[in-house]
């Protein structure tokens, strides 16, 4: 399919990634299969991870579930404190829906099932670097439902006024986000590029004074 506004994608710039798995062979296997624009460092313990990211400040952290020892919330919080701008993707097998939701609430950007292929991991990394979350669609839908039931977001007068300023395309993008659609799914549905989807989201965030797609999803879930 040819997109309506297809453009040439420029060469990707180097992106730092920290791989934290308590197994050297597993770390090396992931690093070996990363696309060329990723620059990786490996850690084998939570303490090693915290020490490295405080100085290297990677763009993305791949942290294995096995390192979330003891109090999980404290582990995620300590990682975020050491590297505030990094996106955290937790790797593991068999974490329940409730467990994945807990990770998102604590600040992780997603959960990746290690049974999936290296190519899927690259998709997951690309997604969270572009402001998305990586979990099964039913998980994010359940999270939106849960947060909506806990506290339905109040729409400020400024947001009410700003809603009227959204273009039809921006409204369509926002509604698709509220259904749990990824940027790739939205691009396919609307026959535009993912870059255009991101441009729409940036404009929406600015107009509505919100900062992430989960807040947008909750807001439009209430408006549906």
For the chain, what is the mean pLDDT?
A: 81
Distance CA 49, CA 87 (A): 14
* Domains 15-135 and 144-223 agree in fold: no
pLDDT value at 203 more than 60: yes
The two tokens of residue 1 are 């399919």
Type and span of the H or E element at 2: none
Residue 8, sorted as left (phi over 0), alpha (psi -120 to 50) or beta, turns out to be: beta
Distance CA 76, CA 68 (A): 8
Q: Would you place residue 131 in the very low, low, confident or very high pLDDT band (cuts 50, 70, 90)?
A: confident
Higher pLDDT, 150 or 206: 206
Q: In 10 A of CB 55, how many CB atoms?
A: 8
Closest-CA residue to 166 (of 217, 202, 211): 202
What topology is assigned to 15-135 in CATH?
Answer: Rossmann fold (3.40.50)
> Which region among 14-28, 62-76, 198-212 has the lowest average model confidence (pLDDT)?
62-76
Residues 138-145 have a mean pLDDT of 68
> Which region among 73-82, 110-119, 132-141, 148-157 has the lowest average model confidence (pLDDT)?
148-157
Which residues, listed in sequence order, are joined to residue 110 by a DSSP beta bridge?
Answer: 89, 134
121 by DSSP, 3-state: which?
Answer: helix
Higher pLDDT, 202 or 152: 202
Distance CA 113, CA 155 (A): 36
pLDDT value at 195 more than 80: yes
- pLDDT at residue 170 in the model: 95
Q: Would you place residue 69 in the very low, low, confident or very high pLDDT band (cuts 50, 70, 90)?
A: low
Q: Would you place residue 172 in the very low, low, confident or very high pLDDT band (cuts 50, 70, 90)?
A: very high
Q: What percent of the chain has pLDDT over 70?
A: 81
Per-residue pLDDT tens over the stretch 79-117: 888 888 899 999 998 888 888 888 887 888 889 988 888
Q: What is the DSSP string of 141-199?
A: HHHHHHHHHH-PPPPPHHHHHHHTT--HHHHHHHHHHHTT--HHHHHHHHTS-HHHHHH
Positive or negative torsion for Cα 91, 94, 95, 100: positive
Sorted by where each begins, the domain ranges of the chain are: 15-135, 144-223
pTM of the model as a whole? 0.66
pLDDT value at 20 more than 90: yes
- pLDDT at residue 25 in the model: 93
What CATH number was assigned to the domain covering residues 144-223? 1.10.10.10
Q: Would you place residue 4 in the very low, low, confident or very high pLDDT band (cuts 50, 70, 90)?
A: very low
pLDDT value at 127 more than 60: yes
Higher pLDDT, 165 or 77: 165
């Amino acid at each position: 399919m040819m997109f309506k506004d297809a453009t040439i994608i420029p060469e990707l710039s180097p992106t730092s990634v920290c791989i934290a798995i308590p197994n050297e062979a597993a770390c090396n296997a992931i690093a070996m299969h990363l696309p060329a624009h990723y620059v990786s460092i490996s850690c084998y313990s939570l303490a090693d991870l915290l020490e490295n990211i405080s100085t290297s400040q990677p763009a993305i952290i791949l942290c294995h579930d096995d390192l979330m020892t003891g109090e999980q919330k404290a582990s995620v919080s300590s990682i975020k404190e050491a590297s505030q701008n990094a996106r955290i993707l937790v790797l593991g097998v068999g974490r329940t829906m409730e467990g994945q939701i807990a990770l998102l609430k604590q600040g992780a950007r997603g959960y990746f099932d290690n049974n999936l292929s290296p190519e899927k991991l690259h998709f997951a990394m690309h997604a969270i670097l572009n402001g998305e979350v990586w979990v099964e669609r039913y998980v994010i839908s359940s999270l939106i439902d849960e947060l909506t039931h806990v506290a339905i977001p109040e729409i400020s007068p400024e947001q009410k006024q700003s809603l009227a300023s959204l273009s039809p395309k921006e409204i369509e993008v926002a509604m698709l986000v509220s259904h749990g659609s990824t940027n790739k799914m939205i691009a396919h549905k609307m026959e535009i590029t993912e870059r255009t989807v991101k441009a729409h989201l940036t404009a929406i965030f600015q107009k509505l004074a919100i900062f992430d797609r989960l807040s947008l999803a909750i807001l439009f879930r209430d408006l549906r």
